[in-house]
Structures are given as structure tokens and as C-alpha cells.
Structure 1
């Protein structure tokens, strides 16, 4: 499937309010055709530009000092494609550096630049030459000649790439008008400056001479300028919308956190346990990022949607929504699900725009022979527009602010028995164990900590090591787990007392049979 069709299909899965901020891939493709036509009209082939620019890196394409002379004629490439100006007002340029003694280069540039007078004379006799608009000379300095490709009145009218039925609506019209105004101001200003220079300095068009001196010609591409102006406008609109959305999502996370503190408080024991199970499933789903040691990477958009679907199905299968007794809890769950959907949308739009950017730049390079895909991403600093860490930061904020409101039993489990550390004993090494496991360790003459191997941590532990504040916290948030822990501790203590009285040891299987036997009904009565 072609990317244009894929983009159109996937955009249907995105909310309507987000669609205007997707890069208009089809519109940009139309401008690429004009860029290629502009270059070919001046006698430069795509193959020639590919040969000169192939393999160039971003450092090779950085704009050189255009105010000073070229120091060395032994340059790696005689053609350089780069961007001038500051973001977002950038100007694509082609820089030709040549020696006057090389006839093939001077002939190529003669064809590219042409003779203004000859073209004017020919245009009166042959209308076909109007298809090749001449280059407008701007200035010369230190053997560097500056030109810009002119846009005829017909070409200027063709700059409009938006249809009347465009999905962008008013936004598209505003951007379109801005583009017209941008080119009108630039063309008018450049013309005034050139007229003033011609009035002040009597200097004609520079001629390419056949000598050994190194010359440089810099050409600004008007149609390429229109392409990148539209592209920068699309990027700015998308980045601006991303910033607004991220600020709103952060505010929604803070608001939901305040609601969760109330609806999932220990005072609402039934809802608290349901919320704990919901967040446990949410963490197991690993929707946006892996949490295991072997995989902590961000999920792809498709994987994110799959995991979110699994999480939703688990909620339905276990009927957790209906188990929430408080109406405010159900409303908070709806807001929680909406926040996750918002994060998925942000991630999806980022992925589509980034892919569209890569595809359109490759298409631009293929059709025009230039190498914008090499230097444009670094020149404009894509991270400022796509913000690759945005989704990761928002997901981390949601997990940190929401899932930590309700503590999980695993976070307060004894490292030995893996149950809640009831009557927690904090050793001198700061590790916490339940009192039952610590007593067993002391009976077995274990002196060192099982976690860090502190030599006397277990041996010196006593009732003074009881963490009273942690015990109150566990009693508040884990009443069911502590009740079960007390039953198990009492059962173990009863078995030890029974073994001490009878002098016999019982295996776990024997104890299990004894427990089953005690549950049988009496047959005598």
C-alpha cells in the first residue's frame, strides 16, 4: 500500500480534531513536481545533481561563509545544497563552486544561469522560452554571485496547493494566505533592493569567464522555498497543538490524582481493592513501555493499541467496572481510560507525522536530485517539533501520580515468604522482614541478612526493631492481607506447639491431610 493511501486510512482512526494537524502529504507531493520542473527548466538534470550530491553528509551541506572568498579550489564537491536563514524562515540554496578553466562546468552554469539579454530577445520570437524563466541576479561579492529563480505570474498563481474542500478549513486558508504574503513581501523587497543597487552602482550581470580563478554562484530556489515554507508551517502547527495537548493532559492527570485520593482511600475499602486490581492489570499490560529488565523500550503504536485492548477486555471479563460501588469511582475510571486514549492519539499522530516527513523528503530528493533528507532534519532540529520523549514523560507522570496512590502488596512483601510484612522488623541494614520469618531465621542460627549479607543484622534483631509507623500503614491499606497473614501465623504456631507436645515432625502432605480431615462433619451425631 502506498503511503498516501496508508496515511488516509490511518487518519480515520484519529479523532477529528487531530486530523488538521497531520502533515498534508498529498499537497506537498504536488509542490515537489514544481521543484523538479523549476530545476529542469534551467537545464540541470536530476542525474547530475544526484552524482554531485550523493553521499554528502550534514556537515558537508552546512552553509559556508558566503562573505569571504573561496580559499581552496580543491573541494570535494562543486555543488552544495544547503539551507540559509533561521527556523522557521529558511531558504534552500544551491551553491556552485567552479574553476574558470573547466569548460564543462562553465558551459553547464551558462546554461543554468543563461543570458538575460538573449532570453529577452528570444522570448519575442519563440513563446516556448517562457517556460524557462531566467534567474534574477541579486549581487556579487568576493567572486560569489547571488541569484534567485524568478516566478512568473502564472507560477505564482499555482502556488496554491489547497483545495476548496480541504479538511483543514479555515486553518488551511490562513496558512495559504500567509504563504502568499510571505512570497509577495520577499519578492517585492528583493526587487527594491536590486533596483537601489542598480541605481547606486553601475554594474551589469556577471559573466562566467574561462580563467583559473575559483568562482561561486549561489542560487535560491523559489519553488523549493514554497515547498519548505509549507512544510515548516505544517510542522509548526503540529508542534503547537502537541504543546497545548500535553499541557492539558498534565492538568488532567493532576485533577484525576486528586479525585483518586478520595475515591480510592482506605475509607472506601471495597472500591480501594477494586482499584488496586485495576492498576495491577494496567501495570501488567505494559501499554506504553515495557517494565521488565530485558525490555524497557517504548511500544509501537500498533503494540500500544493491542495492549490497551487486552486491558479493556480484562476489565470486562472480571466485571471490575460493576464492582465499583461509588459513582465517583466509575466517573474517575472513565477519565482514566480517556487519558490513555489521548496518549495513544498523541503517539499515533507523532508516528504518522514523522513517517510522512521521512517519506516526503525522500520523494523530494528522488524527484529533484537534491539531498534535503540529509541536512534538513538536523538544520531544523526535528526533536523540537516531534518531541519523541513527550509520550514517555506523560506516561511516566500518569504511572507515578496515579498507580502510586494505591500501594500494591508486592511493594511491601517480605523477601522470604513473599507475603505482606506483617509486624515488620527493620534490620540495621534497613531491610524489612516479617516477624515470623525473622524468628525462623534466628532459630536456625542465621546471623546475616538474606538480602545484603550484613554479618550481624539478623542476630541482633529484637522487638525494638519493630517499625511501628510501617505497621500502621500496612494495617490501613492491607486489612484483608493482614487478616490472612494472622491466620497463617497462628496455624504455623499451632503446628509447632503440636510437634513439641507429641515429639513428632509432620510433612506438609500430612499436615494437609490433617487439615482436610478436620473439616469433615461428625458422623456420630
Structure 2
């Protein structure tokens, strides 16, 4: 099946909105316009073989064609120009390989050049004085040299073409129209994302009463971030995904949510409505990517066909000229993903963002070193005991500077020699110079289960240090 038919069928069968289809690249019209371009060139005697010969940079012919795109001064529109470099001897083009039609055309050009040249010579001629008899030989030599230079002349003439201007103007206007369409759709999706983010903030808000859907939504967004549906950030695989791969990733995400029955543990009815809206936003973005890709392919195909039929080799420079258009760069996926990250996934804090990089548990009792890296109190105490002064991440000399008191300057390890690490943190929280108390409250509010596990782990570890391997941890009980 030819691409034109395939393109038309895809637009008709992929359930694109009707106003999207109206903005699609008019591939059929561009093909008709290309035929007019070829007919116009043929009427000038420039058939395919002649064009290929005259544009070949390795062909040192007295006649050479150049086809370029020139940017307009007051707009982003580029204009095509076809110029011919003509080398004349005695005002005649000597080129045996020209076809009769091409020769007739270039002889007409040479005639116009000769007429213009004679007009210029006549306008600049003035009165001349008679020279002496002794200067006749010198004058003849000069005239001979001038005549030789006159016989060999180079002229550059711009050929007036009509339909190539029409072709590129149509194509550029179509690309601009798709840009405008994407801007409108991007704004609508952005508004929808912001509204959904406000609803999620209420649904997942931590409460004293356990009627909150913070945990299932955290798991949903954790799966979504792992899927990297539209944009990959791995070292070996990074950048925007194709619509086909994005579809597979989105299907995997929905399958995992269903497999783990995360929707069934919703406690608030609005959560199901919000989840459906979230899927709808992703489906709309996927549909826009599919529409973008098929139109990008249409642009590529019609430019390739233009080059193949004319030998002008302009497709690469044209794509470079319109790279400022967001439609060609595929920026909509990146922009919408950034919006979802800002207004949706950040509404529900992810545990991975608050892990201690040493023990990989929640960094409860977070200690913020002077280098701004954050670790849990227990791990910092261990590092100080080993007399390691450098940050495990950036190697700055800051670990031993993490002090317990504003007054005595004791290190966290020195303080823990007198009191258990957990007790120390509880008793002197206001005096911990490097303890981020606000962050500790935030963690306890949003990760209550993980914080409890961390505290229990610290108690067990401290008990083993104090009482040896025979220590058995027992939970407190009220008698």
C-alpha cells in the first residue's frame, strides 16, 4: 500500500478527533503541488536527468544550478530560490550535454544576459580622446586583453519559479497549524492535570483517622514512575519514547495496578474517579503522540519524494529550518510528563526520595550535613565511631562536624556513649545542630509505617550492641 493511502486510512481509523484530522498534513495536496513543480521545471527544459547533472557538485560544467532555502527577514518562513551560474564565452554557453529544450532555455538566458550587458556598456560609455600614432600598438594589446576577458564571463541568475514557493509555503503553514493544535491540547491537559492534583491532595492528605488513600496512590505512582511510560531516564535508554513503546508501557502499568488490586483498597470513592481521570490523561497524551508521529512521517515522506523527483537535496536543510517548531521536536510528551511530575506524583511523596543512602531505610531522624546530603542519625553515628570524616556521597570533610549541641560541640557518637541513640534524639531534638526536625516530622506524617519500622530496627541494633548476640527484642507492654 502506498503511503498516501496508508496515511489517509490511519487518520480515518485511529479515532482521532475530527478537529485533529482537519489539521493533519495534506499529503495528497502536497503531492499534486509537487507534480506542478516538476511540470514547471520540465517546461524550462530542466528534466530529472538534466537537473541531476547540473546540480552535481563534482560536475565542472559551464552551467550549474543551486537550490537553497532563504529565511525571510520578518518571519520564520523560508523561501526556496533556484539560481543558475552561467559561464559564457562570446555570449554563448558551451555545454554539449544539454538537451535541446535545456539548451534553448539557457540560450534565452544568455540572450537576456547579453542584452543587459550591452545596456550596461552603453550607459557607461563616454567621450574618448584620440591617441597618438605611437600608441596604436599599446592600445591594440589592451583591447586584445579586454576582449579576451570579455569573451569569458560568469553570470548568476535567479530563476522565477512559482509552484515550489507554493509547495513549501503550504508545508510550513501545515506544520504551524499542528503546532497551534498541540499548544491548545497541551494547555487543556495541563489544566486537567492541575485540577486532578488538587483533588489528589485532598484524597491522600494524611489524617489522624485512617480514612486516607495515601498508601494505594503512593503504590500507583511508584509503578507509574517505574514504567517510564513516555520518557526514559536510564543511561542506556533515555529520551522520549515512541508511541508504540509508550502503549506497551502504559498497558504494563495498568496490568500491574490490576494485578496488585490497588483499586480495591481505595477507601474514598473519589479515588476511583481520580484514577479514571489519570488514565484518561495518559490516553489523550498517547493519542497526541500517535498523531504527531504519523504527521512527522508524512513530512519526511513528502520531502524525500521532493528530493527524489528534483534532485535538489533540500529535505535535510528544510527540517533544520523548522526545528524551532515543537511539532518536529516532539516536545509535547516531555512537557506533559513534567506537568504530571510536578502536580501529581509530587503530591504523594515517594519513599525512594527519603531513603538513607547507607542503610536504604527511611532516613528518619534525618541528619543534614554541611554538604546538604541527608542520612539517618543511626548511620551518621556509625560513621563517626569509625572515625571516617568524609561524606559517603561527595567526600566532603563534614561528618565529624555533625554536632549534638550548640554549646559543647559534642559529636553525635560522643553523645550516644552516654545515652542510647534513639533516646538522645528524643531528648535533645531542639539542640541537634544538624538534625532536620521539620523533615523528621514530615517523614513521620507521610511514612508512619516506615518510620515505626526504622525505630524498631534501631532499637534492635542498639540492643545487640549493648547486650551482645543473645539480645532478644521485646515490644513494650502495658501491665
Same fold per superposition (TM over 0.5)? yes
Query: 1 or 2 for the larger relative contact order (CA 8 Å, sep ≥6)?
Result: 1
Aligned match for 1:460, one of 411, 416, 419: 411
- The residue number in structure 1 matching 2:244 is 302
Give 1:84 shift: 5.6
Aligned match for 1:481, one of 450, 454, 463: 450
Measure the CA separation in 1 of the matches of 2:295 and 2:238.
24
- The residue number in structure 2 matching 1:401 is 343
- The residue number in structure 2 matching 1:15 is 16
> Given the superposition, is the C-alpha separation of residues 448 and 244 from structure 1 closer, same or farther in structure 2, using an over 3 Å criterion?
closer
- The residue number in structure 1 matching 2:104 is 111
- The residue number in structure 1 matching 2:318 is 376
- The residue number in structure 2 matching 1:35 is 37
1:78 and 2:18 are equivalent in the alignment: no
SS, match of residue 266 in structure 1: coil
SS, match of residue 425 in structure 1: strand
1:332 and 2:320 are equivalent in the alignment: no
1:256 and 2:200 are equivalent in the alignment: no
> Given the superposition, is the C-alpha separation of residues 54 and 353 from structure 1 closer, same or farther in structure 2, using an over 3 Å criterion?
farther
The 8 Å contact of residues 32 and 368 in structure 1, kept in 2 or not, is answered as no
- The residue number in structure 2 matching 1:46 is 48
Measure the CA separation in 2 of the matches of 1:45 and 1:483.
81
Measure the CA separation in 2 of the matches of 1:251 and 1:76.
62
The 8 Å contact of residues 53 and 371 in structure 1, kept in 2 or not, is answered as no
Question: C-alpha offsets along residues 157-214 of structure 1, whole Å, 9 cap, x if unaligned?
Answer: xxxxxxxxxxxxxxxxxxxxxxxxxxxxxxxxxxxxxxxxxxxxxxxxxxxxx95343
Measure the CA separation in 2 of the matches of 1:360 and 1:370.
13
- The residue number in structure 2 matching 1:424 is 366
Measure the CA separation in 1 of the matches of 2:343 and 2:294.
29
- The residue number in structure 1 matching 2:308 is 366
Aligned match for 2:219, one of 277, 295, 299: 277
1:237 and 2:177 are equivalent in the alignment: yes
> Given the superposition, is the C-alpha separation of residues 448 and 231 from structure 1 closer, same or farther in structure 2, using an over 3 Å criterion?
closer
Answer with 331-340 or 10-19: which moved more: 10-19
- The residue number in structure 2 matching 1:357 is 299
Measure the CA separation in 2 of the matches of 1:397 and 1:79.
49
The 8 Å contact of residues 419 and 485 in structure 1, kept in 2 or not, is answered as yes
Measure the CA separation in 1 of the matches of 2:437 and 2:264.
37
Give 1:282 shift: 0.6
- The residue number in structure 1 matching 2:162 is 222
- The residue number in structure 1 matching 2:86 is 98
Give 1:347 shift: 2.4
Measure the CA separation in 2 of the matches of 1:77 and 1:373.
24
The 8 Å contact of residues 288 and 304 in structure 1, kept in 2 or not, is answered as yes
> Given the superposition, is the C-alpha separation of residues 33 and 344 from structure 1 closer, same or farther in structure 2, using an over 3 Å criterion?
same
Aligned match for 1:471, one of 440, 446, 457: 440
Question: C-alpha offsets along residues 374-410 of structure 1, whole Å, 9 cap, x if unaligned?
Answer: 4433445553552433322221222133211211112
Measure the CA separation in 1 of the matches of 2:164 and 2:445.
67
Question: C-alpha offsets along residues 398-437 of structure 1, whole Å, 9 cap, x if unaligned?
Answer: 2133211211112111222211122223344443332333
Q: TM-score, normalised by structure 1?
A: 0.67
- The residue number in structure 2 matching 1:206 is none
- The residue number in structure 1 matching 2:352 is 410
The 8 Å contact of residues 409 and 420 in structure 1, kept in 2 or not, is answered as yes
Measure the CA separation in 2 of the matches of 1:348 and 1:252.
20
Measure the CA separation in 2 of the matches of 1:230 and 1:362.
16
The 8 Å contact of residues 384 and 400 in structure 2, kept in 1 or not, is answered as no
Give 1:238 shift: 1.1
Q: TM-score, normalised by structure 2?
A: 0.73
Unaligned runs of 5+ in 2: 120-149, 403-409, 416-427, 475-479
SS, match of residue 233 in structure 2: coil
> Given the superposition, is the C-alpha separation of residues 13 and 470 from structure 1 closer, same or farther in structure 2, using an over 3 Å criterion?
same
